[in-house]
Amino acid sequence: MQDVSINGLKGLSYLPGYFDRAAQEALLREIRTAVADAPLFQPVMPKTGKPFSVKMSNCGPLGWVSDINGYRYQPSHPATGRPWPDIPGRLKMLWQEVASAAPAPEACLINFYETGAKMGLHQDRDEQTFDAPVVSVSLGDTATFRVGGLKRNDPTKSFRLQSGDVVVLGGEARLAFHGIDRVLKGTSTLLKNGGRINLTLRRVTPPD
């Protein structure tokens, strides 16, 4: 576990190579099964309706969605109306290892990046509580991750996230701005058609 210092904020950890290749393959199969039940959808920005370059789905009791009306968590898939599939056991185990003080995760957002997709600088702040960290897993092609401070214009640092890497944004860094500048084509053989999957585990509601 590496603690990364950024703008004096404590709570950003980087765990390179957390999942070995066999675990990445097993996790990928579980995510494919989830996405077969809860298909990827193309979210759009509130108000403008501009599509994200990333496609999304979720697992867990709550899923994050973005449409013309805003960002929110909801218990069912926006197109099928079905509940989201369960969070894979190995992701619940990851949470136990890195976020054991927090109540169980309720949402796992699945982000799928095809070539050219990116994610602008943002804060994860649609949850009702920020006590629990956000835990992220990268699969597939390497991405350039940028993280800054609590203000959009604070200085940022970049580092590369490879397949199997885990990032934890907790403590003072829970609301740090972050984003994905680019995904580096051809850097992983995990996904046969290339691209990148990012999984983010979050607690949405206060503890029961």
Asked if 188 is part of the footprint of ligand MD6 (rule: CB under 6 A), the reply reads no
- Phi/psi region, residue 35 (left: phi>0; alpha: psi -120 to 50; beta: rest), is alpha
Asked if 119 is part of the footprint of ligand MD6 (rule: CB under 6 A), the reply reads yes
Which residues, in sequence order, are CB contacts of 153 under 8 Å at separation 6+? none
> Helices (DSSP H) in the chain: which residue ranges?
21-37, 89-98
Report the relative pairing of strands 196-202 and 107-113 from DSSP bridges. Answer: antiparallel
Contact (Cβ atoms closer than 8 angstroms) between residue 168 and residue 99: yes
Pick between residue 83 and residue 103 the one whose CB is nearest to ligand MD6: 103
Pick between residue 178 and residue 203 the one whose CB is nearest to ligand MD6: 178
Asked if 127 is part of the footprint of Fe ion (rule: CB under 5 A), the reply reads no
Q: How far is the CB of 136 from ligand MD6 (least distance, A)?
A: 3
Pick between residue 27 and residue 56 the one whose CB is nearest to Fe ion: 56
Q: Which residue is nearest to Fe ion (CB)?
A: 124
Asked if 58 is part of the footprint of ligand MD6 (rule: CB under 6 A), the reply reads no
Per-residue tokens: 126: 């649609």
107 DSSP β-pair partners: 202
Asked if 124 is part of the footprint of Fe ion (rule: CB under 5 A), the reply reads yes
- In degrees and rounded to multiples of 5, residue 81 shows phi and psi of 75, 0
> Site residues for ligand MD6, window 165-184 (CB under 6 A)?
167, 169, 178, 180
Contacts with ligand MD6, residue ranges (CB under 6 A) = 111, 119, 124, 134, 136, 145, 167, 169, 178, 180, 198, 200
Contacts with Fe ion, residue ranges (CB under 5 A) = 124
